[in-house]
Amino acid sequence: TKLHVDGEAALARAISMREGGNILDLGRQVEETVYRVEGEYPIGIDFTFVQVQAKPVNRKVNEFIGTLLQAIAVVVVVMLVSLGIRTGFVVASLIPMAIVMSLMIMGTFDIGLNQMSLASLMIALGMLVDNAIVMTESIMVQMEEGKPAVEAAVDSAVELRIPLLISSLTTIAAFLPIYLAESDTGEYTAPLFKVVSITLLSSWILSLTMIPMLSVKFLRVRQRRSEGSYESPFFRLYRKTLLVGLQNRAASIVVIVVVFVVAMQLFGLVPVMFFPPNDRPTLMAELRLPVGSSLEKTDRVASEIERYLRDEMLVRTSEIENGEEGVVNWAVFMGEGAPRFILSMNPEQTTPEYAVFIINATSRKIIDQLIPQLRRFCFESFPDLKAQIHPLPLGPPITNPIEIRISGRNEDEIFAIVDALKAELYSLPGPSGISDDWGARAKKLMVHINEARAQRAGVTNLDIAISLQTALTGFDTTDFREDDKVIPVTLRSAAADRSDLSKLESLNVFSQATGLSVPLEQVADIEVAWEPANIRRRNRLTTVTVQSDLEPGVTAIEIIKQLTPWLEEQQKDWSLGYSWELGGEYETSIEANQSIVVKLPIAGLAIVLLLVGQFNSFRKPAIILITIPMGIIGVVIGLVLLRSYFGFMTLLGIIALSGVVINNAIVLLDRIRIEIEDNGLDPARAVVESAQRRLRPILLTTGTTIGGLIPLYLGGGPMWEPMAVTIMFGLLFATVLTLGLVPILYSLFYRLNYREFEY
């Protein structure tokens, strides 16, 4: 943004005076202020909104709200088709009420509407109707058995209040590691736990109050359910398959284990990526000249790149209307990083050799074509320039996708290893812009003091240092004050004297002890040497970090997998005390995943305590915990079929999936308990009867959860797609296995015999 100085001051005052509110309000206020400033100062004002976060945030929130409404519509349709008009409306009425109640509570706890909280509502959408389905099903069954509507509703609420609460709490506990994760990524995804918890607890409250009331008012049961109500072809097929599994338990478990092992082998076909690139049509070009370069040189390089953008990549409004693609506008910041306009960006500290471009394009797909083109121009035009050009990132800030740290004692040996490592990276397809954090060697002036001659002349090392500082960089002698400004007065030699080595040798060194001056060459020898511009250490060891960007379509994990065996083999020939360590995206991914994994025992303990408290048994919780990994089979198949990737959001999807699987298993085991304790059935028959009774509610829960996630998969963007795929396919396969595996494990743990069983 280029503004007249008074206009810039007015804009700055408008922003600084703004307290509270949100980014959309602030964006509108800034825009109004700029246009008002233009009217007040019509001369010398030229402004372009390169990044106004209000617009993309508003667009993203609107897209997610639209996706949420689509998910609600899908779930309602599934309810109406599966349960009929009356029952479907009773169950579906829970959705808007639970969402409104959740939004009210979110407002109380200052949880805003963003893509994370809105996606959490979509994830919880299919799970929250489970309580209503189970409650309505229980009320209908009791009404069919002859109970009055009010009595059936009250008895069902009393019977299910604890099981439904436990199932909701176990699902919430599965999300607990996300909230407890001690990392930037955990903080970023914490709303998942908060919103899912609020939504499920709201659903539980409404299921015990509103659903029984609406059931009494609208449900109509025409006839009592008979013994033959499970004699449809679908139920007969399920019962026959279940009995085959129960009668051949060992073979069934072996088959399931084999399928699980095969699925794990397919994980090698799934690409691994921490977070995908942003889907916004914006790219960043970070330029780093050799250390010591002046701001004027940085300005010249940036101006040449701007000229190239203007001549080769820029498209006009008329060209965009005709369908042409290219760069729309850009902003450049020299000597410092751009303001942190997105969470996943770390602004660079002030340094004269640095500049950053923020470039907007017509669409996201053209970004992948512009990046190689701009990289090629920078490499061919400025060989000493390090240009990092990449789309806007998602997730936590990562400086370089590929980083390998080489540590040791001797600088020369380290750089021998670094040179070999760079050569290996150049041989691999994918890396680009390979460099290291020490930068190009800089020309330095080495002053070797002859101590004997200096002592005879009465000159100390401090005298020589002060004289050199005065001649080269300048020595602050005093300050000049004007109003509230303090201006330093610096004593320094003329530019011609500073750049001429022969004149530096004749520089007079003033002795503070004797008050006399002697030529510098009398007490010291001067030489020019090439030395590292930066010297970096890590854990007290000299460390060089080899860095690399990636070509579009290549992931950091792919390169690391190829590079790690080479590093392990090369390390055998290194001297003692030299080591390598991976950084970049790989390290950040490991830290983020580890921050959640270390909290999993807490969630596991909470789930076990809840289950033991509900069932007063250790065998039933063990059955439920064994079923959780079965969802991984569907996860792998879904990621392979839909060509998605495994990343941090996929891990969160697996955690969410485990909560739903636990919920389904609880519903089934609780029904077995009711059939044995309340209805007096034989345990073997109770297992089959319970599986049939819970078949429809479990399938409806699965259908609504999958249906609610389809819009998130289609419209959630690259970040949410793998999570939606994980939950949908994982739940699909886990449901099928739960309906078979839970009864088989129950019969195995409780030693039930089905050899002579007949239904």
511, 379 Cβ separation under 8 angstroms: no
Q: Is the pLDDT of residue 8 over 50?
A: no
Q: Report the C-alpha gap between 702 and 706 in whole angstroms.
A: 6
Q: Residue 419 — pLDDT band, cuts 50, 70, 90?
A: very high
What's the average model confidence in pLDDT over 594-622? 87
Which tops the pLDDT comparison, 479 or 17? Answer: 479
At residue 45, the pLDDT reads: 42
Q: Report the C-alpha gap between 188 and 155 in whole angstroms.
A: 43
- Pairing state of beta strands 541-550 and 537-538? antiparallel
56, 278 Cβ separation under 8 angstroms: no
Q: Is 110 helix (H, G, I), strand (E, B) or coil?
A: coil
Tokens matching residue 262: 């095969």
List pLDDT tens digits, range 323-342.
Answer: 888 898 888 888 888 877 77
Q: Is the pLDDT of residue 573 over 70?
A: yes
Q: Residue 416 — pLDDT band, cuts 50, 70, 90?
A: very high
Q: Report the C-alpha gap between 541 and 294 in whole angstroms.
A: 30
Q: Is 492 helix (H, G, I), strand (E, B) or coil?
A: coil
Q: What HEC string does 188-228 produce?
A: HHCHHHHHHHHHHHHHHHHHHHHHHHHHHHHCCCCCCCCHH
List pLDDT tens digits, range 439-482.
Answer: 777 778 888 898 898 888 888 999 888 888 888 888 788 888 88
Which tops the pLDDT comparison, 68 or 626? Answer: 626
Tokens matching residue 498: 């500073």
Q: Residue 235 — pLDDT band, cuts 50, 70, 90?
A: confident
- The rounded percent of the chain whose pLDDT value lies above 70 is 89
Q: Is the pLDDT of residue 238 over 90?
A: no
At residue 355, the pLDDT reads: 92
Which tops the pLDDT comparison, 223 or 576? Answer: 576
Q: What HEC string does 357-408 produce?
A: EEEEECCHHHHHHHHHHHHHHHHHHCCCCEEEEEECCCCCCCCCCEEEEEEE
Lowest mean pLDDT of 164-168, 180-184, 368-372, 568-572, name the range: 180-184
Tell the residue number behind the tokens 């002036």, with chain if given: 445
Tokens matching residue 177: 């590691």
Four-point Cα dihedral 171, 172, 175, 180, nearest 10: -150
504, 477 Cβ separation under 8 angstroms: no
Q: Residue 496 — pLDDT band, cuts 50, 70, 90?
A: low
List pLDDT tens digits, range 522-556.
Answer: 888 888 888 887 888 888 899 999 998 888 778 88
Q: Residue 495 — pLDDT band, cuts 50, 70, 90?
A: low
List pLDDT tens digits, range 664-702.
Answer: 888 788 888 888 887 888 888 888 888 888 888 888 878
At residue 580, the pLDDT reads: 93
At residue 569, the pLDDT reads: 92
At residue 31, the pLDDT reads: 53
At residue 29, the pLDDT reads: 54
Q: Enter the pTM of the model.
A: 0.72
List pLDDT tens digits, range 88-135.
Answer: 888 888 888 888 899 899 888 888 877 778 778 877 776 777 788 888
Averaged confidence pLDDT in the chain: 82
Q: Is the pLDDT of residue 165 over 50?
A: yes
List pLDDT tens digits, range 169-214.
Answer: 988 888 888 888 887 777 778 888 899 899 999 999 999 999 999 8
Lowest mean pLDDT of 268-277, 374-383, 488-497, name the range: 488-497
At residue 69, the pLDDT reads: 80
Q: Is the pLDDT of residue 140 over 90?
A: no
